[in-house]
A and B are shown apart, each in its own frame.
Chain A
Protein backbone atom coordinates (compact mmCIF):
# COMPACT_ATOMS: atom_id res chain seq x y z
CA UNK A 1 0.00 0.00 0.00
CA UNK A 2 1.19 3.51 -0.73
CA UNK A 3 -0.04 6.77 0.76
CA UNK A 4 -3.06 7.04 -1.56
CA UNK A 5 -4.01 3.40 -0.97
CA UNK A 6 -3.99 4.20 2.74
CA UNK A 7 -6.35 7.11 2.15
CA UNK A 8 -8.71 4.81 0.19
CA UNK A 9 -8.35 2.20 2.91
CA UNK A 10 -9.15 4.69 5.68
CA UNK A 11 -12.19 5.97 3.72
CA UNK A 12 -13.34 2.34 3.38
CA UNK A 13 -12.78 1.83 7.12
CA UNK A 14 -14.69 4.99 8.03
CA UNK A 15 -17.62 4.04 5.76
CA UNK A 16 -17.67 0.60 7.42
CA UNK A 17 -17.53 2.30 10.82
CA UNK A 18 -20.60 4.44 10.06
CA UNK A 19 -22.63 1.39 8.96
CA UNK A 20 -21.26 -0.56 11.95
CA UNK A 21 -22.56 2.09 14.36
CA UNK A 22 -25.98 2.14 12.73
CA UNK A 23 -26.40 -1.61 13.23
CA UNK A 24 -27.66 -2.99 16.56
CA UNK A 25 -24.87 -4.08 18.91
CA UNK A 26 -25.50 -7.81 18.51
CA UNK A 27 -25.35 -7.69 14.71
CA UNK A 28 -22.33 -5.40 14.33
CA UNK A 29 -19.97 -8.28 13.71
CA UNK A 30 -21.85 -9.05 10.48
CA UNK A 31 -20.84 -5.60 9.17
CA UNK A 32 -17.21 -6.51 9.85
CA UNK A 33 -17.67 -9.80 8.00
CA UNK A 34 -19.35 -8.15 5.02
CA UNK A 35 -16.73 -5.40 4.84
CA UNK A 36 -13.95 -8.03 4.99
CA UNK A 37 -15.64 -9.98 2.21
CA UNK A 38 -16.08 -6.83 0.10
CA UNK A 39 -12.45 -5.84 0.75
CA UNK A 40 -11.31 -9.26 -0.40
CA UNK A 41 -13.62 -9.45 -3.43
CA UNK A 42 -12.50 -6.01 -4.63
CA UNK A 43 -8.94 -7.26 -4.44
CA UNK A 44 -9.52 -10.41 -6.46
CA UNK A 45 -12.75 -12.26 -7.03
CA UNK A 46 -11.21 -15.54 -8.28
CA UNK A 47 -8.65 -15.81 -5.51
CA UNK A 48 -11.33 -15.34 -2.83
CA UNK A 49 -12.22 -18.99 -3.40
CA UNK A 50 -9.03 -20.03 -1.60
CA UNK A 51 -9.93 -18.04 1.51
CA UNK A 52 -13.43 -19.51 1.41
CA UNK A 53 -11.99 -23.03 1.06
CA UNK A 54 -9.65 -22.43 4.00
CA UNK A 55 -12.55 -21.15 6.11
CA UNK A 56 -14.75 -24.18 5.25
CA UNK A 57 -11.94 -26.64 5.96
CA UNK A 58 -11.01 -24.93 9.24
CA UNK A 59 -14.61 -24.66 10.43
CA UNK A 60 -15.50 -28.33 9.87
CA UNK A 61 -12.18 -29.55 11.27
CA UNK A 62 -12.84 -27.63 14.47
CA UNK A 63 -16.32 -29.10 14.73
CA UNK A 64 -15.09 -32.67 14.20
CA UNK A 65 -12.30 -32.21 16.78
CA UNK A 66 -14.62 -30.85 19.45
CA UNK A 67 -17.19 -33.58 18.79
CA UNK A 68 -14.47 -36.27 19.13
CA UNK A 69 -13.37 -34.70 22.41
CA UNK A 70 -16.94 -34.62 23.71
CA UNK A 71 -17.49 -38.27 22.72
CA UNK A 72 -14.35 -39.21 24.62
CA UNK A 73 -15.48 -37.25 27.68
CA UNK A 74 -18.84 -39.08 27.66
CA UNK A 75 -17.45 -42.57 26.99
CA UNK A 76 -14.65 -42.39 29.56
CA UNK A 77 -17.03 -41.90 32.47
CA UNK A 78 -17.03 -44.84 34.85
CA UNK A 79 -14.34 -46.70 32.91
CA UNK A 80 -11.42 -48.22 34.84
CA UNK A 81 -8.07 -46.41 34.56
CA UNK A 82 -6.54 -48.84 32.02
CA UNK A 83 -9.58 -48.71 29.76
CA UNK A 84 -9.61 -44.92 30.00
CA UNK A 85 -6.00 -44.87 28.82
CA UNK A 86 -6.83 -47.08 25.84
CA UNK A 87 -9.84 -44.96 24.94
CA UNK A 88 -7.76 -41.79 25.20
CA UNK A 89 -5.10 -43.27 22.89
CA UNK A 90 -7.83 -44.22 20.39
CA UNK A 91 -9.39 -40.74 20.33
CA UNK A 92 -6.01 -38.99 20.28
CA UNK A 93 -5.13 -41.01 17.18
CA UNK A 94 -8.42 -40.07 15.52
CA UNK A 95 -7.94 -36.40 16.36
CA UNK A 96 -4.36 -36.47 15.09
CA UNK A 97 -5.52 -37.85 11.74
CA UNK A 98 -8.12 -35.07 11.44
CA UNK A 99 -5.61 -32.35 12.36
CA UNK A 100 -2.99 -33.70 9.99
CA UNK A 101 -5.44 -33.79 7.05
CA UNK A 102 -6.73 -30.27 7.75
CA UNK A 103 -3.24 -28.82 8.17
CA UNK A 104 -2.20 -30.51 4.92
CA UNK A 105 -5.18 -28.98 3.08
CA UNK A 106 -4.55 -25.48 4.45
CA UNK A 107 -0.80 -25.64 4.13
CA UNK A 108 -1.18 -27.41 0.76
CA UNK A 109 -2.97 -24.38 -0.73
CA UNK A 110 -0.18 -22.11 0.49
CA UNK A 111 2.57 -24.49 -0.68
CA UNK A 112 1.09 -24.98 -4.15
CA UNK A 113 0.32 -21.32 -4.78
CA UNK A 114 3.45 -19.84 -3.25
CA UNK A 115 6.16 -22.47 -3.56
CA UNK A 116 5.51 -24.56 -6.72
CA UNK A 117 8.02 -22.53 -8.74
CA UNK A 118 10.65 -22.77 -6.02
CA UNK A 119 10.22 -26.52 -5.55
CA UNK A 120 10.33 -27.30 -9.30
CA UNK A 121 13.46 -25.16 -9.61
CA UNK A 122 15.09 -26.95 -6.66
CA UNK A 123 14.09 -30.37 -8.03
CA UNK A 124 15.59 -29.55 -11.42
CA UNK A 125 18.80 -28.31 -9.76
CA UNK A 126 18.94 -31.50 -7.67
CA UNK A 127 18.40 -33.75 -10.71
CA UNK A 128 20.99 -32.03 -12.91
CA UNK A 129 24.00 -34.03 -11.56
CA UNK A 130 22.06 -37.20 -12.43
CA UNK A 131 21.85 -36.24 -16.11
CA UNK A 132 18.49 -34.46 -16.06
CA UNK A 133 19.01 -31.42 -18.24
CA UNK A 134 15.54 -30.41 -19.44
CA UNK A 135 14.74 -26.71 -19.23
CA UNK A 136 12.34 -26.12 -16.36
CA UNK A 137 10.02 -23.15 -16.65
CA UNK A 138 9.33 -21.86 -13.16
CA UNK A 139 5.60 -22.06 -12.44
CA UNK A 140 4.09 -19.15 -10.61
CA UNK A 141 0.56 -18.46 -9.47
CA UNK A 142 -1.16 -15.32 -8.34
CA UNK A 143 -1.23 -15.23 -4.55
CA UNK A 144 -4.50 -14.61 -2.71
CA UNK A 145 -4.29 -11.54 -0.48
CA UNK A 146 -2.90 -12.34 2.96
CA UNK A 147 -2.66 -16.11 2.35
CA UNK A 148 0.54 -16.39 4.40
CA UNK A 149 -1.24 -14.75 7.35
CA UNK A 150 -4.66 -16.38 7.31
CA UNK A 151 -3.17 -19.84 6.71
CA UNK A 152 -1.18 -19.54 9.94
CA UNK A 153 -4.30 -18.29 11.76
CA UNK A 154 -6.27 -21.30 10.49
CA UNK A 155 -3.59 -23.77 11.55
CA UNK A 156 -3.33 -22.10 14.97
CA UNK A 157 -7.08 -22.44 15.46
CA UNK A 158 -7.09 -26.11 14.37
CA UNK A 159 -4.17 -27.04 16.64
CA UNK A 160 -5.64 -25.17 19.63
CA UNK A 161 -8.97 -26.98 19.17
CA UNK A 162 -7.08 -30.27 18.96
CA UNK A 163 -5.21 -29.45 22.17
CA UNK A 164 -8.51 -28.63 23.85
CA UNK A 165 -7.55 -25.02 24.52
CA UNK A 166 -11.08 -24.01 23.52
CA UNK A 167 -14.19 -25.48 21.89
CA UNK A 168 -14.70 -25.07 18.15
CA UNK A 169 -16.70 -22.12 16.83
CA UNK A 170 -20.29 -23.15 16.11
CA UNK A 171 -21.09 -20.37 13.66
CA UNK A 172 -19.39 -20.55 10.25
CA UNK A 173 -19.85 -16.83 9.59
CA UNK A 174 -18.04 -15.95 12.83
CA UNK A 175 -15.13 -18.21 11.97
CA UNK A 176 -14.99 -16.64 8.50
CA UNK A 177 -14.81 -13.22 10.20
CA UNK A 178 -11.91 -14.41 12.34
CA UNK A 179 -9.99 -15.27 9.14
CA UNK A 180 -11.05 -12.22 7.14
CA UNK A 181 -11.16 -9.25 9.54
CA UNK A 182 -10.11 -6.59 7.03
CA UNK A 183 -7.57 -4.52 9.05
CA UNK A 184 -5.33 -7.56 9.44
CA UNK A 185 -5.73 -8.99 5.94
CA UNK A 186 -2.66 -7.47 4.30
CA UNK A 187 0.15 -7.60 6.88
CA UNK A 188 -1.20 -9.30 9.97
CA UNK A 189 -0.61 -9.44 12.87
CA UNK A 190 -1.35 -13.16 12.97
CA UNK A 191 -4.29 -13.34 15.37
CA UNK A 192 -5.38 -16.00 17.83
CA UNK A 193 -9.03 -17.08 17.95
CA UNK A 194 -9.42 -16.86 21.75
CA UNK A 195 -7.99 -13.34 21.73
CA UNK A 196 -9.84 -11.98 18.69
CA UNK A 197 -13.26 -13.62 18.63
CA UNK A 198 -14.68 -12.12 21.86
CA UNK A 199 -13.59 -8.68 20.67
CA UNK A 200 -14.90 -9.10 17.12
CA UNK A 201 -18.36 -10.06 18.36
CA UNK A 202 -18.57 -7.60 21.28
CA UNK A 203 -19.99 -4.89 19.01
CA UNK A 204 -18.45 -2.03 20.97
CA UNK A 205 -19.86 1.33 19.94
CA UNK A 206 -18.43 4.83 19.75
CA UNK A 207 -16.44 6.28 22.62
CA UNK A 208 -14.38 9.45 22.46
CA UNK A 209 -11.38 7.73 24.09
CA UNK A 210 -11.49 4.78 21.67
CA UNK A 211 -11.81 7.08 18.69
CA UNK A 212 -8.87 9.25 19.78
CA UNK A 213 -6.71 6.18 20.49
CA UNK A 214 -7.49 4.91 17.00
CA UNK A 215 -6.73 8.30 15.42
CA UNK A 216 -3.40 8.64 17.28
CA UNK A 217 -2.29 5.16 16.22
CA UNK A 218 -3.30 5.70 12.59
CA UNK A 219 -1.51 9.06 12.43
CA UNK A 220 1.55 7.61 14.16
CA UNK A 221 1.63 4.81 11.57
CA UNK A 222 1.22 7.28 8.69
CA UNK A 223 4.05 9.36 10.19
CA UNK A 224 6.36 6.34 10.24
CA UNK A 225 5.42 5.28 6.73
CA UNK A 226 5.29 8.57 4.84
CA UNK A 227 7.76 10.75 6.75
CA UNK A 228 10.49 8.19 7.45
CA UNK A 229 10.07 4.96 5.51
CA UNK A 230 9.29 6.29 2.03
CA UNK A 231 12.09 8.88 2.18
CA UNK A 232 14.61 6.22 3.29
CA UNK A 233 13.42 3.91 0.51
CA UNK A 234 14.61 6.11 -2.37
CA UNK A 235 18.35 5.83 -1.74
CA UNK A 236 18.06 2.24 -0.53
CA UNK A 237 16.33 1.26 -3.80
CA UNK A 238 18.78 3.18 -6.01
CA UNK A 239 21.80 1.48 -4.42
CA UNK A 240 20.39 -2.03 -4.00
CA UNK A 241 19.03 -2.10 -7.57
CA UNK A 242 22.47 -1.39 -9.05
CA UNK A 243 24.98 -2.03 -6.27
CA UNK A 244 28.08 -2.71 -8.47
CA UNK A 245 28.06 1.01 -9.38
CA UNK A 246 28.42 2.16 -5.77
CA UNK A 247 31.18 2.16 -3.17
CA UNK A 248 31.07 0.06 0.01
CA UNK A 249 30.52 3.24 2.03
CA UNK A 250 27.37 4.15 0.10
CA UNK A 251 26.19 0.53 0.26
CA UNK A 252 26.65 0.56 4.06
CA UNK A 253 24.49 3.70 4.31
CA UNK A 254 21.90 2.07 2.02
CA UNK A 255 21.83 -1.02 4.28
CA UNK A 256 21.14 1.19 7.31
CA UNK A 257 18.49 3.14 5.40
CA UNK A 258 16.83 -0.08 4.23
CA UNK A 259 16.71 -1.30 7.86
CA UNK A 260 15.03 2.01 8.82
CA UNK A 261 12.69 1.71 5.82
CA UNK A 262 11.63 -1.85 6.60
CA UNK A 263 11.01 -1.20 10.29
CA UNK A 264 9.04 2.02 9.81
CA UNK A 265 7.15 0.57 6.84
CA UNK A 266 6.08 -2.64 8.57
CA UNK A 267 5.50 -1.26 12.06
CA UNK A 268 3.83 1.85 10.57
CA UNK A 269 1.41 -0.29 8.60
CA UNK A 270 0.66 -2.39 11.69
CA UNK A 271 -0.04 0.82 13.66
CA UNK A 272 -2.48 1.99 10.97
CA UNK A 273 -4.23 -1.39 10.98
CA UNK A 274 -4.26 -1.59 14.79
CA UNK A 275 -5.73 1.92 14.92
CA UNK A 276 -8.41 0.95 12.40
CA UNK A 277 -9.24 -2.19 14.38
CA UNK A 278 -9.55 -0.08 17.55
CA UNK A 279 -12.37 1.90 15.97
CA UNK A 280 -14.36 -1.33 16.19
CA UNK A 281 -13.20 -2.01 19.74
CA UNK A 282 -10.67 -4.65 18.64
CA UNK A 283 -7.14 -4.62 20.04
CA UNK A 284 -4.90 -6.56 17.66
CA UNK A 285 -1.97 -8.36 19.26
CA UNK A 286 1.28 -6.45 19.65
CA UNK A 287 3.65 -6.99 16.72
CA UNK A 288 6.63 -4.77 17.66
CA UNK A 289 8.15 -3.85 21.02
CA UNK A 290 11.11 -1.53 20.43
CA UNK A 291 13.12 -4.25 18.60
CA UNK A 292 16.22 -2.12 18.18
CA UNK A 293 16.73 -1.98 21.95
CA UNK A 294 17.47 -5.73 21.98
CA UNK A 295 20.68 -6.99 23.53
CA UNK A 296 20.72 -10.24 21.58
CA UNK A 297 19.39 -11.45 18.24
CA UNK A 298 17.04 -13.87 20.05
CA UNK A 299 15.62 -10.91 21.97
CA UNK A 300 15.28 -8.98 18.71
CA UNK A 301 13.06 -11.73 17.32
CA UNK A 302 10.94 -11.64 20.48
CA UNK A 303 10.34 -7.95 19.84
CA UNK A 304 10.12 -7.93 16.01
CA UNK A 305 7.12 -9.41 14.17
CA UNK A 306 6.05 -10.84 17.52
CA UNK A 307 2.92 -12.56 16.20
CA UNK A 308 5.00 -14.60 13.71
CA UNK A 309 7.63 -15.49 16.33
CA UNK A 310 5.07 -16.62 18.90
CA UNK A 311 3.19 -18.58 16.21
CA UNK A 312 6.35 -20.50 15.30
CA UNK A 313 7.13 -20.97 18.99
CA UNK A 314 3.70 -22.37 19.90
CA UNK A 315 2.95 -24.39 16.78
CA UNK A 316 6.39 -25.50 15.54
CA UNK A 317 9.18 -25.13 18.10
CA UNK A 318 7.38 -26.46 21.19
CA UNK A 319 5.59 -29.40 19.53
CA UNK A 320 8.71 -30.38 17.57
CA UNK A 321 10.90 -30.15 20.68
CA UNK A 322 8.45 -32.20 22.75
CA UNK A 323 7.76 -34.80 20.03
CA UNK A 324 8.76 -38.45 20.34
CA UNK A 325 11.55 -38.34 17.69
CA UNK A 326 13.11 -35.40 19.51
CA UNK A 327 12.72 -37.23 22.81
CA UNK A 328 14.65 -40.11 21.24
CA UNK A 329 17.28 -37.71 19.93
CA UNK A 330 17.67 -36.24 23.43
CA UNK A 331 18.20 -39.72 24.86
CA UNK A 332 20.84 -40.53 22.24
CA UNK A 333 22.59 -37.22 22.95
CA UNK A 334 22.46 -37.81 26.72
CA UNK A 335 24.15 -41.18 26.26
CA UNK A 336 26.81 -40.11 23.81
CA UNK A 337 27.65 -36.50 24.69
CA UNK A 338 28.64 -34.29 27.57
CA UNK A 339 25.79 -32.70 29.56
CA UNK A 340 26.31 -29.35 27.86
CA UNK A 341 26.12 -30.66 24.28
CA UNK A 342 23.32 -33.06 25.15
CA UNK A 343 21.19 -30.07 26.13
CA UNK A 344 22.22 -27.98 23.12
CA UNK A 345 21.92 -30.43 20.20
CA UNK A 346 18.17 -31.31 20.45
CA UNK A 347 17.19 -27.64 21.03
CA UNK A 348 19.36 -26.52 18.14
CA UNK A 349 17.79 -29.18 15.87
CA UNK A 350 14.28 -27.93 16.66
CA UNK A 351 15.49 -24.37 16.19
CA UNK A 352 16.78 -25.29 12.74
CA UNK A 353 13.28 -26.48 11.75
CA UNK A 354 11.82 -23.18 13.02
CA UNK A 355 14.29 -21.00 11.13
CA UNK A 356 13.97 -22.92 7.88
CA UNK A 357 10.20 -22.42 8.22
CA UNK A 358 10.51 -18.74 9.13
CA UNK A 359 12.89 -18.15 6.22
CA UNK A 360 10.63 -19.88 3.71
CA UNK A 361 7.53 -18.16 5.06
CA UNK A 362 9.07 -14.87 3.92
CA UNK A 363 9.36 -16.03 0.33
CA UNK A 364 9.91 -18.84 -2.14
CA UNK A 365 13.57 -18.34 -2.84
CA UNK A 366 16.84 -19.89 -1.76
CA UNK A 367 17.88 -16.49 -0.33
CA UNK A 368 15.08 -16.72 2.25
CA UNK A 369 16.35 -20.15 3.30
CA UNK A 370 19.78 -18.58 3.79
CA UNK A 371 18.08 -15.69 5.63
CA UNK A 372 16.58 -18.16 8.09
CA UNK A 373 19.89 -20.02 8.44
CA UNK A 374 21.69 -16.72 9.09
CA UNK A 375 19.63 -16.09 12.23
CA UNK A 376 19.79 -19.76 13.22
CA UNK A 377 23.59 -19.69 13.10
CA UNK A 378 23.79 -16.48 15.15
CA UNK A 379 21.50 -17.97 17.82
CA UNK A 380 23.41 -21.25 17.81
CA UNK A 381 26.72 -19.46 18.27
CA UNK A 382 25.10 -17.44 21.08
CA UNK A 383 23.91 -20.63 22.82
CA UNK A 384 27.23 -22.43 22.48
CA UNK A 385 29.43 -19.53 23.54
CA UNK A 386 27.24 -18.16 26.37
CA UNK A 387 29.02 -20.08 29.20
CA UNK A 388 32.36 -19.03 27.73
CA UNK A 389 31.44 -15.33 27.83
CA UNK A 390 30.16 -15.66 31.40
CA UNK A 391 33.41 -17.32 32.49
CA UNK A 392 35.55 -14.80 30.64
CA UNK A 393 33.77 -11.76 32.04
CA UNK A 394 33.90 -13.25 35.57
CA UNK A 395 37.64 -13.79 35.20
CA UNK A 396 38.21 -10.29 33.92
CA UNK A 397 35.81 -8.98 36.60
CA UNK A 398 33.68 -7.25 33.98
CA UNK A 399 30.18 -6.20 34.93
CA UNK A 400 27.94 -7.72 32.23
CA UNK A 401 25.03 -5.59 33.37
CA UNK A 402 26.83 -2.24 33.22
CA UNK A 403 25.43 0.43 30.92
CA UNK A 404 28.46 0.26 28.61
CA UNK A 405 28.31 -3.55 28.31
CA UNK A 406 24.58 -3.49 27.57
CA UNK A 407 25.02 -0.60 25.10
CA UNK A 408 27.70 -2.56 23.25
CA UNK A 409 25.43 -5.61 23.09
CA UNK A 410 22.62 -3.49 21.65
CA UNK A 411 25.03 -2.05 19.07
CA UNK A 412 26.25 -5.54 18.12
CA UNK A 413 22.65 -6.72 17.70
CA UNK A 414 21.80 -3.74 15.46
CA UNK A 415 24.81 -4.49 13.23
CA UNK A 416 23.87 -8.17 12.93
CA UNK A 417 20.25 -7.26 12.18
CA UNK A 418 21.33 -4.72 9.53
CA UNK A 419 23.23 -7.49 7.71
CA UNK A 420 20.15 -9.70 8.04
CA UNK A 421 18.07 -6.93 6.45
CA UNK A 422 20.60 -6.63 3.59
CA UNK A 423 20.26 -10.36 2.96
CA UNK A 424 16.50 -9.91 2.97
CA UNK A 425 16.72 -7.10 0.41
CA UNK A 426 19.24 -8.42 -2.14
CA UNK A 427 18.18 -10.39 -5.20
CA UNK A 428 20.45 -13.35 -4.55
CA UNK A 429 22.89 -14.77 -2.03
CA UNK A 430 25.72 -14.02 -4.49
CA UNK A 431 24.74 -10.34 -4.42
CA UNK A 432 24.78 -10.46 -0.63
CA UNK A 433 28.35 -11.82 -0.70
CA UNK A 434 29.40 -9.08 -3.12
CA UNK A 435 27.78 -6.36 -0.98
CA UNK A 436 29.47 -7.59 2.20
CA UNK A 437 32.80 -7.73 0.35
CA UNK A 438 32.40 -4.12 -0.78
CA UNK A 439 31.40 -2.87 2.68
CA UNK A 440 34.39 -4.49 4.37
CA UNK A 441 36.80 -3.16 1.74
CA UNK A 442 36.36 0.23 3.50
CA UNK A 443 36.95 2.17 0.28
CA UNK A 444 35.78 5.65 -0.73
CA UNK A 445 34.95 6.72 2.80
CA UNK A 446 34.81 10.32 1.60
CA UNK A 447 31.63 9.48 -0.39
CA UNK A 448 29.78 10.54 2.73
CA UNK A 449 31.09 14.10 2.50
CA UNK A 450 31.70 14.68 -1.22
CA UNK A 451 28.03 15.04 -2.12
CA UNK A 452 27.57 11.52 -3.59
CA UNK A 453 25.48 10.46 -0.62
CA UNK A 454 22.78 13.03 -1.29
CA UNK A 455 22.53 12.40 -5.02
CA UNK A 456 20.89 8.99 -4.90
CA UNK A 457 17.23 9.82 -4.35
CA UNK A 458 17.36 10.74 -0.67
CA UNK A 459 18.77 14.29 -0.47
CA UNK A 460 20.16 16.13 2.57
CA UNK A 461 16.75 17.53 3.51
CA UNK A 462 15.38 13.98 3.46
CA UNK A 463 18.25 12.83 5.69
CA UNK A 464 17.46 15.60 8.19
CA UNK A 465 13.76 14.69 8.21
CA UNK A 466 14.59 10.97 8.57
CA UNK A 467 17.00 11.84 11.41
CA UNK A 468 14.37 13.88 13.25
CA UNK A 469 11.81 11.15 12.66
CA UNK A 470 14.13 8.50 14.11
CA UNK A 471 14.86 10.79 17.08
CA UNK A 472 11.10 11.07 17.73
CA UNK A 473 10.75 7.28 17.50
CA UNK A 474 13.75 6.86 19.81
CA UNK A 475 12.32 9.17 22.50
CA UNK A 476 8.89 7.50 22.35
CA UNK A 477 10.61 4.10 22.43
CA UNK A 478 12.83 4.95 25.43
CA UNK A 479 9.80 6.22 27.35
CA UNK A 480 7.86 3.07 26.47
CA UNK A 481 10.73 0.94 27.74
CA UNK A 482 10.32 2.85 31.02
CA UNK A 483 6.60 1.89 31.02
CA UNK A 484 5.54 5.38 29.91
CA UNK A 485 3.21 4.97 26.97
CA UNK A 486 3.31 8.37 25.24
CA UNK A 487 0.73 7.48 22.57
CA UNK A 488 -1.64 6.12 25.19
CA UNK A 489 -1.12 9.20 27.38
CA UNK A 490 -1.91 11.49 24.43
CA UNK A 491 -5.13 9.57 23.72
CA UNK A 492 -6.35 9.79 27.29
CA UNK A 493 -4.75 13.15 28.10
CA UNK A 494 -6.42 16.49 28.58
CA UNK A 495 -7.74 18.38 25.61
CA UNK A 496 -4.82 20.86 25.59
CA UNK A 497 -2.39 17.93 25.22
CA UNK A 498 -4.45 15.72 22.96
CA UNK A 499 -5.33 18.17 20.20
CA UNK A 500 -1.94 19.87 19.75
CA UNK A 501 -0.26 16.44 19.42
CA UNK A 502 -2.90 15.22 16.98
CA UNK A 503 -2.57 18.42 14.96
CA UNK A 504 1.24 18.15 15.02
CA UNK A 505 1.03 14.59 13.66
CA UNK A 506 -1.44 15.62 10.94
CA UNK A 507 0.75 18.57 9.94
CA UNK A 508 3.90 16.37 10.01
CA UNK A 509 2.24 13.83 7.69
CA UNK A 510 0.88 16.52 5.34
CA UNK A 511 4.01 18.68 5.17
CA UNK A 512 6.79 16.13 5.70
CA UNK A 513 5.15 13.07 4.18
CA UNK A 514 6.78 11.80 0.99
CA UNK A 515 3.88 11.76 -1.43
CA UNK A 516 2.75 13.75 -4.45
CA UNK A 517 4.23 14.30 -7.90
CA UNK A 518 7.83 14.64 -6.63
CA UNK A 519 7.85 11.27 -4.92
CA UNK A 520 7.53 7.73 -6.21
CA UNK A 521 4.98 5.39 -4.70
CA UNK A 522 6.40 2.84 -2.32
CA UNK A 523 4.49 -0.37 -1.66
CA UNK A 524 4.52 -2.11 1.71
CA UNK A 525 7.22 -4.73 1.93
CA UNK A 526 5.41 -7.22 4.15
CA UNK A 527 2.20 -7.07 2.08
CA UNK A 528 3.97 -9.07 -0.62
CA UNK A 529 3.78 -12.28 1.41
Chain B
Protein backbone atom coordinates (compact mmCIF):
# COMPACT_ATOMS: atom_id res chain seq x y z
CA UNK B 1 0.00 0.00 0.00
CA UNK B 2 2.84 2.39 0.86
CA UNK B 3 4.38 1.91 -2.57
CA UNK B 4 1.01 2.63 -4.17
CA UNK B 5 0.65 5.83 -2.14
CA UNK B 6 4.11 6.88 -3.35
CA UNK B 7 3.10 6.29 -6.97
CA UNK B 8 -0.15 8.21 -6.46
CA UNK B 9 1.71 11.15 -4.92
CA UNK B 10 4.12 11.15 -7.85
CA UNK B 11 1.36 11.10 -10.48
CA UNK B 12 -0.91 13.61 -8.74
CA UNK B 13 0.87 15.56 -6.00
CA UNK B 14 -0.94 17.30 -3.15
CA UNK B 15 -3.92 14.98 -2.67
CA UNK B 16 -4.90 13.25 0.57
CA UNK B 17 -4.91 9.78 -0.98
CA UNK B 18 -5.20 7.97 2.34
CA UNK B 19 -8.61 9.42 3.12
CA UNK B 20 -10.11 10.52 -0.21
CA UNK B 21 -12.89 8.20 -1.39
CA UNK B 22 -14.17 10.08 -4.42
CA UNK B 23 -11.00 10.46 -6.47
CA UNK B 24 -12.80 9.95 -9.78
CA UNK B 25 -16.29 11.16 -8.90
CA UNK B 26 -14.98 14.49 -7.63
CA UNK B 27 -12.70 14.95 -10.65
CA UNK B 28 -9.35 14.67 -8.80
CA UNK B 29 -8.28 11.82 -11.09
CA UNK B 30 -9.28 12.51 -14.69
CA UNK B 31 -8.81 10.05 -17.54
CA UNK B 32 -5.35 11.40 -18.39
CA UNK B 33 -4.14 11.02 -14.82
CA UNK B 34 -5.68 7.55 -14.62
CA UNK B 35 -3.71 6.45 -17.69
CA UNK B 36 -0.47 7.79 -16.20
CA UNK B 37 -1.31 5.98 -12.98
CA UNK B 38 -2.18 2.74 -14.80
CA UNK B 39 1.10 2.84 -16.71
CA UNK B 40 3.01 3.31 -13.46
CA UNK B 41 1.24 0.56 -11.48
CA UNK B 42 1.28 -1.91 -14.42
CA UNK B 43 5.06 -1.54 -14.48
CA UNK B 44 5.50 -1.68 -10.72
CA UNK B 45 3.24 -4.68 -10.04
CA UNK B 46 3.65 -6.43 -13.43
CA UNK B 47 -0.08 -6.67 -14.05
CA UNK B 48 -2.21 -6.12 -17.17
CA UNK B 49 -4.98 -3.57 -16.75
CA UNK B 50 -7.58 -3.58 -19.54
CA UNK B 51 -10.06 -0.84 -20.54
CA UNK B 52 -12.80 -2.86 -18.79
CA UNK B 53 -11.01 -2.29 -15.45
CA UNK B 54 -11.02 1.46 -15.98
CA UNK B 55 -14.27 2.22 -14.17
CA UNK B 56 -14.69 4.82 -11.37
CA UNK B 57 -15.32 2.12 -8.70
CA UNK B 58 -11.78 0.80 -9.19
CA UNK B 59 -10.13 4.21 -8.85
CA UNK B 60 -12.20 6.19 -6.34
CA UNK B 61 -9.84 5.49 -3.43
CA UNK B 62 -6.33 4.19 -2.81
CA UNK B 63 -7.95 1.14 -1.18
CA UNK B 64 -10.00 0.41 -4.32
CA UNK B 65 -6.89 0.74 -6.51
CA UNK B 66 -4.99 -1.58 -4.19
CA UNK B 67 -7.81 -4.13 -4.34
CA UNK B 68 -7.75 -3.96 -8.14
CA UNK B 69 -4.00 -4.62 -8.12
CA UNK B 70 -4.46 -7.60 -5.78
CA UNK B 71 -7.27 -8.98 -7.92
CA UNK B 72 -5.22 -8.72 -11.11
CA UNK B 73 -2.10 -10.17 -9.47
CA UNK B 74 -3.93 -13.44 -8.64
Contacts and interface: CB of A to CB of B under 8 A. Distances in A.
A322 B27 contact: no
A322 B50 contact: yes
B32 A302 contact: no
Contact of A387 (B13, B36, B38, B54): B13
Given A165-B52, A322-B50, A343-B40, A317 B31 contact: yes
Interface string A370-412: 0000000001000100010010000000000000000000000
Query: Which of the four size classes fits the interface of chain B?
Result: 10 to 19
Provide the main secondary structure of the chain A interface.
helix
Contact of B13 (A318, A383, A390): A390
Contacts of B54: 314, 318
A314 B51 contact: yes
Interface string A305-343: 000000001100111011000000010000000010001
Contacts of A302: 27, 30
Nearest to B49: A322
A379 B32 contact: yes
B11 interface: yes
A85 interface: no
Contacts of A319: 51
B51 A330 contact: no
A298 B32 contact: yes
Contact of A322 (B10, B13, B14, B38): B38
A351 interface: yes
Interface in B21-54: 27, 30-32, 35-36, 38-40, 49-52, 54
A382 B14 CA distance: 16
Contact of A343 (B11, B13, B51): B11
22 contacts: A164-B52, A165-B52, A299-B27, A299-B30, A302-B27, A302-B30, A314-B51, A318-B31, A318-B35, A318-B54, A321-B35, A322-B38, A322-B50, A322-B51, A330-B39, A343-B11, A343-B36, A343-B39, A347-B32, A347-B35, A351-B32, A383-B32
